[in-house]
Chains A and B, each alone.
Chain A
Amino acid sequence: MALSTTVSQSKRIKRKAPRGFLKRIFKRQKPHLRLESSCDLLVHLNCLLFIRRLAEESRANACKNKCGIIKDQHVLAAAKVILKKSRG
Chain B
Amino acid sequence: MEGSYIPDSEPTTRTLLRRLLDTEDPHTPRGRQSTRASARRTPLETPFSMRLRSQTKTTTRRHSHGARSIGRLAHIQTSGRLKEQTPRTLLENILLTAPESSMVVPESALKPVPAPQVVQSPSGESSRGSLELQLPELKPPTTLAPGLLLALGKRKQRLRLSEFQQGVDQELPLSPGPLTEPHGNAGASSLTSSLNLALATPPVPQSVQRPGLARRPPTRRAVDVGAFLQDLQDTSVALALPGDSLRTPVATLPTDTVLEDTQPFSQPLIGRSPNVRHSLPCPSSSAERTVGRRTQSSGPRLQNNSPGRPDQLLVGKAEEVDALAVGFPNTSNSSSGEDGLQPLQDGVGEEAEDVMEESLSMSDEEEAAGAQGSARAEEPKTHKEGTEAEGSWGATEAKELEGPSRDKDTAGRTGSPELTSITLEFQQARQLEFLEPAQPTSTAVLPPEPLSARRPPRARTAGPRLRQDPYKTGLSHYAKLFSFYTKMPMEKAALEMVEKCLDKYFQHLCDDLEVFAAHAGRKTVRPEDLELLLRRQGLVTDQVSLHVLVERHLPLQYRQLLIPCAFSGNTVFPAQ
Give the chain A neighbours of B509 by CB distance below 8 A: 43, 46
Residues of the A chain whose Cβ atoms lie less than 8 Å from the Cβ of B508: 83, 86-88
Query: SS class of chain B's interface: helix, strand, loop or mixed?
Result: helix
User: Contacts A29-B506, A76-B497 given: A45-B526 contact, CB under 8 Å?
Assistant: no
B32 in the interface (beta carbon within 8 A): no
When the two chains form their complex, are residues B524 and A33 in contact, meaning their CB atoms are under 8 A apart?
yes
The answer to whether B512 touches A87 (Cβ under 8 A) is yes
- B477 close to chain A: CB less than 8 A: yes
**B400 interface hit (Cβ, 8 Å):** yes
Count contacts on A: residues with CB < 8 A to the other chain: 63
The residue from A7, A44, A52 contacting B557, defined by CB atoms under 8 A apart: A7
Pick from B474, B486, B507, B527: contact of A29, CB under 8 Å? B507
- Cβ of B560 < 8 Å from any Cβ of A? yes
- Which of B393, B486, B514, B560 touches A33 (beta carbons < 8 Å)? B514
B18-26, B225-233, B532-540: which one contacts chain A?
B532-540
Report the minimum CB–CB distance from A61 to chain B (whole Å): 11
What separation, in Å, do the CA atoms of A64 and B473 have in the docked complex? 31
A52 and B485 within 8 A (CB): yes
Q: Are B557 and A25 interface neighbours, CB within 8 A?
A: no
A-B contact count (CB 8 A): 196
Q: A32 to B498, alpha carbons, bound, how many Å?
A: 28
**Among the listed B488, B517, B554, which residue makes an inter-chain contact with A41, where contact means beta carbons less than 8 Å apart?**
B554
Task: Assess the B474–A59 pair: CB atoms within 8 A.
Answer: no
> Is residue B490 within 8 Å, beta carbon to beta carbon, of the partner chain?
yes
Within 8 Å CB of A22, what residues of B? 474
- Asked if A42 meets B562 with Cβ closer than 8 Å, knowing A30-B510, A48-B481, A87-B512, the reply is yes
Considering residues A7, A36, A44, A70, which has the most beta carbons from chain B within 10 angstroms of its beta carbon? A70
Chain B residues in 8 Å Cβ range of A18: 474, 477
A85 within 8 A of B: yes
Given A45-B550, A49-B539, A49-B549, A69–B565 Cβ distance below 8 Å? no
Contact A62 B517, beta carbon cutoff 8 Å: no
Q: Which of A15, A62, A75 gathers most chain B CB within 10 Å?
A: A75
Please, how many angstroms separate the alpha-carbon atoms of A34 and B527 in the complex? 12
Q: How far, in whole Å, are A42 and B400 apart by their CA atoms in the complex? A: 27
Provide the residues of chain A in CB contact with B558, threshold 8 Å. Answer: 7, 13, 17, 41, 44
Residue among B497, B507, B511, B549 making CB contact with A45, cutoff 8 Å: B549
B530 at the interface (CB under 8 A from A): yes
Min CB distance A76 to B, Å, is 6
Q: Is B213 an interface residue (CB 8 A)?
A: no
Q: Which chain A residues (21-76) contact chain B, with CB distance < 8 Å?
A: 21-22, 24-26, 28-36, 38-39, 41-52, 54-56, 58-59, 62, 68-72, 74-76
CB distance from B482 to the nearest CB of A (A): 5
Contacting residues, chain A, for B487 (C-beta < 8 A): 59
> Would you call A72 and B497 a contact (CB within 8 A)?
yes
Are A3 and B537 within 8 A (Cβ)?
no
CB distance from A79 to the nearest CB of B (A): 4
Considering the chains assembled together, what is the distance between the CA atoms of A82 and B489 in angstroms?
Answer: 21
**Chain A interface: which of B35-43, B245-253, B406-414, B567-575?**
B567-575
Contact between chains at A38 and B525 (CB < 8 Å): no
Determine if B524 and A51 form an interchain contact, defined as CB atoms under 8 angstroms apart.
no
CB of A13, distance to nearest CB on chain B (Å): 5
A42–B483 CA distance with the chains assembled, in angstroms: 21
Q: A34: shortest Cβ distance to chain B, in Å?
A: 4
A58's nearest neighbour on chain B, judged by CB, is B486
Contacts of A25 in B (CB 8 A): 471, 474, 506, 510
Q: Can you name the residue of chain A whose Cβ is closest to the Cβ of B385?
A: A28
**Complex contact A72–B482 (CB within 8 A):** no
Chain B residue, CB-CB nearest to A17: B558
B526–A36 touching, CB < 8 Å? yes
A2 and B571: CB pair below 8 A? yes
The CA-CA distance from A29 to B510 in the complex, in Å, is 7
Q: Could you tell me if B388 and A3 are in contact, using CB atoms closer than 8 angstroms?
A: no
Whether A62 touches B514, Cβ cut-off 8 Å, given contacts A24-B470, A39-B526, is: no
Q: Is B504 an interface residue (CB 8 A)?
A: yes
Contact present for A69 and B571 (CB under 8 Å)? no
The answer on a CB contact under 8 Å between A29 and B393 is: yes
Chain B nearest Cβ from A27, distance in angstroms: 9
Q: Is B513 in contact with chain A by the CB < 8 A criterion?
A: yes
A85 surroundings in chain B (CB, below 8 A): 537-538
Are the C-beta atoms of A34 and B501 separated by less than 8 Å?
A: no
> Residue B203 at the A interface, CB < 8 A?
no
In the docked arrangement, what's the CA distance between A55 and B481, Å? Answer: 9
Give the residues in chain B near A83, CB-CB below 8 Å: 501, 504-505, 508
Closest to A49 in B: B539
Report the minimal beta-carbon distance from A30 to chain B, rounded to whole angstroms.
5
Q: Is the CB of A72 within 8 A of B494?
A: yes
Q: Is the CB of A45 within 8 A of B510?
A: no
Known: A3-B571, A29-B507, A83-B508. A68 touches B557 (CB 8 A): no
B557 touches A32 (CB 8 A): no
CA distance A31 to B392 in the complex (A): 13
Nearest A-chain residue to B559, judged by Cβ: A41
Q: Is B105 an interface residue (CB 8 A)?
A: no
Asked if B5 lies at the interface with its beta carbon under 8 angstroms from chain A, I say no
Give min CB distance, A7 to chain B, whole Å: 4
- CB pair B557 A9 closer than 8 Å: yes
Could you name 9 residue pairs across A and B whose Cβ atoms are closer than 8 Å? A16-B555, A30-B510, A33-B523, A39-B526, A51-B498, A52-B485, A55-B482, A70-B491, A79-B504
Residues of B within 8 A of A (CB): 388, 390, 393, 400-401, 470-471, 473-474, 477-478, 481-483, 485-491, 493-494, 496-498, 500-502, 504-514, 517, 523-527, 529-531, 533-534, 536-539, 546, 549-550, 553-558, 560-562, 565, 567-568, 571, 573-574
A46-B509, A51-B498 are known; give 17 further A-B pairs, CB within 8 A: A2-B565, A2-B571, A5-B574, A26-B510, A30-B390, A38-B527, A42-B546, A46-B530, A47-B502, A49-B537, A51-B481, A56-B485, A69-B489, A70-B486, A70-B494, A71-B493, A88-B533
Give me the 10 closest cross-chain CB pairs, A-B, nearest first.
A55-B485, A21-B474, A29-B510, A42-B530, A79-B501, A88-B536, A72-B497, A7-B557, A72-B493, A75-B497
